[in-house]
């Protein structure tokens, strides 16, 4: 099980996306701690093959990387994730990558999920991408600048990354009817709140959870046209992995029993473009 030196729920609350970095390199001690964390990660819920690499462009003689099309400034260290696509693979990628992002947040370092605005070929070269692997996302890692760049501020403003949908639009009791689960969440109120605070591609927050018969069933509410924007990478399934990571970390922190299982509860009707993914079963 993933563990941190600080409370996971506190780390989730303070995490922010940063695209502007000071030129100071990440310390050798912090790099060692991050690599130790990555090497100790457990098998993800669906058992997929995910490879997370902390890559240092300066150490590779590349200088500061220019492969983010001006979105990221000042960073020379990156977390790069590689995946061999499989059933549940994108969810597993999001689950593990977010766990690493939170580990780096706990060290006081800045990060930012990048799923589209980077040169995949350049970062593939940095980690020696293997046949059959793809790179769904990367993140700069570094010391956040005192002031965000103009581009960084525009991103924060344009996607509304600090705003979140209300509880009643994301979590439900028994079915997808109008009654939100906030009054009935009980011990799961905090884990669900951690899901609500999760980062997602263009802040679409595609996770939906229905509490039914003691289990919590996770659904993906898709955004039309995403496949045209991001091609082969299903970032909204990656987002579901982030939600799973946040939920499980909070549940474990509270001592709540349970595990991930694929057991479709057969809830009907399901909203358009919404699909079942996985369940948390006590």
Same-domain pairing of 16 and 129: yes
8 close to 249: Cβ distance less than 8 angstroms: yes
Looking at the fold, whether 102 and 187 belong to one and the same domain comes out as no
Q: What's 100's domain CATH number? A: 3.40.109.10
Q: Is the pLDDT of residue 146 over 90?
A: no
Work out the burial of residue 261: count CB atoms within 10 Å of its CB; fewer than 13 is exposed, 13-18 middle, 19 or more buried: exposed
Number of alpha helices (DSSP H) and beta strands (DSSP E) in the chain: 9, 9
Closest CA to 116 of 150, 69, 163: 69
Residue reference for tokens 């909203």: 271
Collapsed DSSP state (helix, strand, coil) of residue 281: strand
Q: Which residues pair with 17 in a beta bridge?
A: 111
Pairing of strands 274-281, 77-83: unpaired
pLDDT at 282 over 70: yes
Examine the domain organization and report whether 54 and 131 are in the same domain.
yes
Last residue of a domain, one of 90, 121, 149: 149
Residue 157 lies in a domain: no
- The three-state secondary structure class of 30 is helix
> Is residue 114 located within the same domain as residue 192?
no
Residue 80, pLDDT score = 97
pLDDT for 163: 84
Q: What is the SS3 assignment for 241?
A: helix
pLDDT value of residue 1: 54
One domain, residues 86 and 198:
no
How far CA 40 is from CA of 37, 49, 134, 201, in Å, comes to: 5, 14, 22, 27
pLDDT band at 147 (very low <50, low <70, confident <90, very high): confident
The predicted structure's pLDDT at residue 203: 92
Does residue 227 lie within any of the structural domains? Answer: yes
Q: Is 254 among the domain residues?
A: yes
Question: Average of pLDDT values for 117-138?
Answer: 93
Q: Which of 25-39, 93-107, 134-148, 160-174 has the lowest mean pLDDT?
A: 160-174
Q: For residue 258, what is the domain's CATH number? A: 3.40.109.30
Class of residue 265 by CB neighbours under 10 A (exposed 0-12, middle 13-18, buried 19+)? middle
**119 plus 211 within the same structural domain:** no
Query: Looking at the structure, do residues 179 and 240 belong to the same domain, yes or no?
Result: yes
Asked if 97 and 81 count as a contact pair (C-beta separation under 8 A), the reply is: yes
Confidence of residue 5 (pLDDT cuts 50, 70, 90): confident
pLDDT at 95: 98
Amino acid 118: pLDDT: 87
pTM, whole model, 2 decimals?
0.94
Is residue 108 situated within a structural domain?
A: yes
- Higher per-residue confidence, 62 vs 203: 203
Residue 1 forms part of a structural domain: no
Q: What total of structural domains would you count in the chain? A: 2
Same domain, yes or no, for 145 and 180?
A: no
- 12 — pLDDT class (breaks 50, 70, 90): very high
Report the candidate in 223, 218, 221, 237 with the shortest Cα–Cα distance to residue 172. Answer: 218
Closest to 81 in 3D by CA, of 92, 66, 67, 65: 92
| Claim to verify: residue 15 and residue 136 sit in the same structural domain | yes
> Same domain, yes or no, for 17 and 143?
yes
What value does the mean pLDDT take over residues 179-183?
Answer: 66
Which backbone phi and psi does 170 adopt, to 5 degrees?
-115, -30
Single out the residue in 116, 149, 182 at which a domain terminates. 149
Looking at the predicted structure, is the pLDDT value of residue 129 above 90? Answer: yes
Range of the domain at 33: 8-149
In this structure, the answer to whether residues 106 and 191 fall within a common structural domain is no
Contact 22, 72 (CB under 8 A): no
Q: Which of 61-65, 219-223, 236-240 has the lowest mean pLDDT?
A: 61-65
Is the per-residue pLDDT at 152 higher than 80?
A: no
13 and 142 belong to one structural domain: yes
């Amino acid at each position: 099980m993933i563990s941190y030196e600080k409370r996971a729920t506190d780390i989730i609350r303070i995490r922010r996306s940063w695209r502007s970095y000071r030129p100071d390199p990440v310390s050798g001690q912090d790099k060692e701690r991050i690599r130790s964390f990555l090497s100790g990660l457990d098998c993800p819920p669906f058992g997929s093959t995910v490879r997370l690499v902390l890559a240092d462009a300066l150490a590779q003689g590349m200088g500061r990387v220019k492969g983010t099309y001006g979105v990221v400034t000042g960073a020379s260290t990156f977390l790069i994730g590689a995946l061999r696509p499989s059933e549940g693979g994108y969810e597993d990628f999001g689950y593990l990558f977010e766990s690493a992002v939170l580990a780096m947040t706990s060290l006081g370092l800045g990060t930012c999920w990048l799923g589209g605005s980077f040169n995949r070929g350049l970062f593939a070269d940095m980690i020696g991408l293997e046949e059959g692997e793809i790179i769904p996302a990367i993140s700069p890692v570094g010391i956040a600048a005192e002031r965000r760049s103009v581009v960084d501020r525009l991103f924060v403003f344009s996607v509304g990354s600090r705003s979140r949908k209300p509880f009643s639009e994301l979590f439900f009791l028994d079915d997808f009817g109008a009654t939100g689960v906030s009054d009935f969440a009980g011990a799961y109120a905090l884990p669900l709140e951690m899901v609500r605070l999760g980062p997602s591609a263009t802040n679409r927050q595609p996770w939906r959870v229905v509490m039914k018969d003691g289990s919590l069933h996770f659904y993906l509410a898709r955004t039309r046209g995403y496949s045209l924007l991001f091609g082969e990478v299903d970032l909204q399934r990656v987002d579901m992995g982030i939600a799973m990571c946040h939920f499980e970390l909070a549940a474990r922190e509270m001592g709540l029993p349970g595990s991930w299982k694929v057991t479709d509860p057969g809830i009907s009707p399901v909203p358009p473009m919404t699909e079942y993914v996985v369940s948390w079963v006590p």
